Chain A
């Protein structure tokens, strides 16, 4: 999914962004456990921020690993 052999794959950028977002969103979810917001969202008991953030972390890490420029160079 990259351009020739010269350009870093777009999936690498996406992986990096998802990893950062996952950390931020999971962090916000954990913070919300300790300090519940004044206005709670519907189904807040499901703690969506925590598991959705975790999903982003996993997806981001997988893409970072699979499309890392160093990995391509080695192959």
Chain B
């Protein structure tokens, strides 16, 4: 769920100059996150402490951390840029592309993750489908996680260079080593605590832009009029333009948004990507684990206010017209990707500017900490313990987790420098990451809801879905005209291709899992207890008040979700 392409081509002029108070605010932030890491060092002695934060997090802490791990700085800058380019359509990635999936995770899938007492999503696959599925899932996840972490790191450093004139090496090493120190010291608990801190800073550092922007533009209706005056296309309606591929700037049809994004890509990311699921596994009880994604969903609905609205405000109030990256480099102008820093510089003077930059850095760190803590867990439990050293002590695995954190960060730094040399790698890695998510969702979903699914069915379905996704991507690369087959229209663009490729690979995964399962012997139901719907007794929530029930809050979230979609239709 990242939008990074193009940040590499940002022109090399500095947008913002910081004053002493701004530098002080940034320095205090670094000191604070390190202080928290050192403070929590003594609290991470056992494996459960280090990798699952002792399973003691409240629903609020787990929920905010769950959201914060996804709210990286590139998420902020990338989607602000996308909203300048595509208008309010980018909001679909926050609403239909997240809310239903987060609620489904909380209410339907979380009980199985939580009751099975697994440490990770690959760990669940091992319990349900056996070692081959776990191995395929764990190796792919570990590899992609550190690669993505490095790419994000380099992109962030490049942004800091363009926005503030900071040296790329300085940004990479200072930020990433800070993350390494606080995660290695305090494990997941330190990562989660810092993510909550970062969540607050992201909001307080970003919130002034939409507030002041709406004041300048004359409210939402004033903004709509300004955009309509500046541009001919409809940038302010969510669904009205999705009747055909050519009627909207994204080149996508509503079926791609609903089935590709809203179903496969979104459910794949939010329910099976261990980077986010790990935060919820740290919850202190099942009710908190179910409540955490619901809380996350409530806040996720508000994120467009600080991400999408600044991009739309850019369309309405900026005196210059932002262009694509190539045109910006050629003309010396500003690209879409600079819209958030431009808006920050437009409204924020000394002090507030430092807080805004701190929000961006906090976003980067929360995303990176999410990556390295998830990597450390999957490596230690699903690769090292599963295939290399089964009988070591708990203390040994904690030590391995600490070292993995450091090594994961160093590999990420190496990746960052690799990307610096071969920038096209990023496109490939982004695509590789997406290959895995959609079929994994098919495998986990069938594993949880269909007791007839067998280990062979799970493994071959996952493999077939992943390979078919790679095959479709390679086909379009080799023959661009194949896009009209994969994405159902020659007018489809990159975003649409990703959505439909995800949908097809998910269907292939499900079909193969079904076919192979029906040809192989079913597992005895007794062995599926705690893992599969129909074989698992979900503990009752007891006689608790309505307002303490996750389903009650999920219902409120879904009502608001529909209301927002109708209002901005």
Residues of A within 8 A of B (CB): 1, 3-4, 6-8, 10, 13-14, 17-18, 20-21, 24-29, 31-32, 37, 40-44, 46, 48-49, 52-53, 56
Contact = CB atoms under 8 A, between A and B. Distances in A.
Interface residues of B, number: 40
Given A24-B351, A25-B25, A41-B347, 17 more contacts: A1-B60, A17-B29, A20-B28, A24-B25, A25-B354, A27-B351, A28-B19, A28-B350, A28-B351, A32-B350, A37-B349, A42-B216, A46-B212, A48-B352, A49-B352, A52-B208, A53-B351
B197 A10 contact: yes
B212 A43 contact: yes
Contacts of A41: 345-349
Contacts of A25: 21, 25, 351-352, 354-355
B61 A10 contact: yes
Contacts of A56: 204
Contacts, number: 97
Contact of A13 (B32, B58, B216): B32
Q: A-B pairs with the 10 shortest C-beta distances?
A: A28-B351, A25-B351, A10-B193, A28-B21, A28-B350, A41-B349, A49-B351, A42-B346, A10-B196, A49-B352
A20 B31 CA distance: 13
B39 interface: yes
7 contacts: A10-B197, A13-B197, A18-B200, A18-B204, A21-B204, A28-B350, A42-B212
Contact of A8 (B39, B56, B212, B352): B39
Contacts of A40: 349
Interface of chain B: mostly helix, strand, loop or mixed? helix
A24 to B, nearest CB: 6
B349 A28 contact: yes
Contacts of A7: 40, 43
A48 B189 CA distance: 35
Interface in B34-88: 35-36, 39-40, 43, 53-54, 56-58, 60-61
A6 B351 contact: no
Nearest to A41: B349
Interface on chain A toward B: helix, strand, loop, or mixed SS? helix
A52 B347 CA distance: 12
Contacts of B346: 41-42
B347 A48 contact: yes
Contacts of B351: 24-29, 49, 53
Contacts of B197: 10, 13-14, 17
A14 B196 contact: yes
A4 B215 CA distance: 44
A26 B351 CA distance: 8
A15 B200 CA distance: 10
B429 interface: no
Given A3-B189, A25-B355, A42 B347 contact: yes
B17 to A, nearest CB: 9
B395 interface: no
Contacts of A31: 350
A2 to B, nearest CB: 8
A11 to B, nearest CB: 8
Contacts of B58: 1
B302 interface: no
B354 to A, nearest CB: 8
Contacts of A44: 349
B24 interface: yes
Nearest to B212: A43
A64 B60 CA distance: 18
Contacts of A32: 349-350
Nearest to A53: B351
Contacts of B56: 3-4
A43 B346 CA distance: 9
Contacts of A17: 28-29, 32, 197, 201
A21 B410 CA distance: 32
B28 A21 contact: yes
A4 to B, nearest CB: 6
A14 B200 contact: yes
A10 to B, nearest CB: 4
B352 A52 contact: yes
Nearest to A11: B196
A46 B347 CA distance: 10
Contacts of B345: 41
Given A17-B197, A32-B349, A37-B349, A27 B21 contact: yes
Contacts of A29: 349, 351
Given A3-B56, A46-B212, A46-B215, A21 B25 contact: yes
Nearest to A20: B28
B61 A1 contact: yes
